[in-house]
């Protein structure tokens, strides 16, 4: 027996077990986007110092320590390895978080899994890199950068807020795969094609207990 799927706009914004909320809702995603824009702005300020466009960075806690972190041997090594300053790379990554967070509907965990997973690939590694950079400040540079710590904290918050949506898309794709073990079907579901089998997998997911 086929499972009827209600495609009306009101039914796009439904709770996705095991969560009591819809991880793709605007209430969930807008704070992520706003914080990502804030982090991008902070990273722009830091990048301007690394580019030599401003004489100093703003740091109400550690003073000139931030400047020494941003011009440290570790920062120069990363620049030689990446070909871009780490703060400038942060600007790109945070803007990517914001843009990807704004794209898609409130049912994008099912209708645009590729978008959600790309969002996760941008958000989650950025959080890991932020932790690594903080450890570098502590154990390699021996100096602290206040705004760097702020952006690192934002990165971890973004990971925490984005994880439920990424998990929902991955679980949905697993249920699609589990039904017939078809790579072709999984590939189509990943790119957001509509199919009754995909709707049944989503319905099973939504019918689980919170």
User: Can you give the pLDDT at residue 180?
Assistant: 84
**Is the confidence at residue 4, as pLDDT, over 60?**
no
> What does the pLDDT average to over 67-75?
93
CA-wise closest residue to 168 among 125, 97, 106, 77 = 106
pLDDT tens, residue by residue, 188-202: 999 999 889 899 999
pLDDT tens, residue by residue, 12-59: 788 999 999 999 999 999 999 999 999 999 999 999 999 999 999 999
Residue 197 belongs to a domain = no
Question: What CA–CA distance (Å, rounded) separates 176 from 202?
Answer: 8
Provide the 3-class DSSP secondary structure of residue 181. Answer: coil
Residue 199 belongs to a domain = no
Domain with residue 80: its CATH number is 1.20.1440.130
Q: State the average pLDDT for the chain.
A: 90
Under 8 Å between Cβ of 179 and 197: yes
Residue 46 belongs to a domain = yes
Q: What percent of the chain has pLDDT over 90?
A: 81
Q: Which residue has better confidence, 44 or 10?
A: 44
pLDDT tens, residue by residue, 85-113: 999 999 999 999 999 999 999 999 999 99
**Is the confidence at residue 1, as pLDDT, over 50?**
no
Residue 157 belongs to a domain = yes
Residue 179 belongs to a domain = no
User: Can you give the pLDDT at residue 209?
Assistant: 60
Number of domains, the chain: 1
Residue 136 belongs to a domain = yes
Q: Which residues contact 100 (CB under 8 A, 6 or more apart)?
A: 115, 118, 119, 122
Residue 158 belongs to a domain = yes
Residue 184 belongs to a domain = no
User: Can you give the pLDDT at residue 72?
Assistant: 93
Under 8 Å between Cβ of 162 and 122: no
Question: What CA–CA distance (Å, rounded) separates 90 from 94?
Answer: 6
User: Can you give the pLDDT at residue 12?
Assistant: 78
Q: What is the DSSP track for 99-139?
A: HHHHSS-TTHHHH-HHHHHHHHHHHHHHHHHHHHHHHHIII
Under 8 Å between Cβ of 35 and 154: yes
Range of 94's domain? 22-52+64-168
* pTM, rounded to two decimals: 0.88
């Amino acid at each position: 027996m086929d499972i009827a799927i209600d495609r009306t706009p009101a039914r796009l914004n439904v709770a996705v077990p095991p969560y009591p909320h819809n991880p793709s809702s605007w209430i969930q995603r807008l704070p992520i986007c706003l914080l990502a824009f804030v982090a991008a702005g902070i990273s722009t300020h830091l990048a301007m110092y690394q580019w030599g466009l401003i004489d100093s960075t703003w740091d109400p806690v550690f003073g000139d320590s931030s400047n020494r972190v941003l011009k440290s041997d570790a920062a120069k090594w990363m620049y030689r390895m990446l070909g871009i300053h780490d703060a400038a790379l942060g600007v790109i990554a945070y803007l990517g978080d914001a843009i990807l967070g704004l794209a898609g509907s409130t049912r994008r965990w099912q209708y645009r899994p590729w978008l959600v997973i790309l969002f996760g690939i941008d958000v989650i590694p950025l959080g890991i890199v932020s932790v690594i950079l903080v450890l570098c400040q502590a154990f390699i540079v021996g100096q602290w950068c206040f705004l760097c710590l702020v952006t690192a904290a934002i990165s971890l918050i973004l990971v925490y807020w984005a994880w439920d949506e990424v998990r929902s898309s991955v679980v949905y794709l697993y249920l699609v795969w589990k039904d017939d073990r078809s790579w072709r079907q999984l590939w189509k579901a990943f790119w957001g094609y509509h199919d009754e089998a995909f709707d049944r997998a989503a319905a099973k997911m939504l019918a689980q207990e919170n």
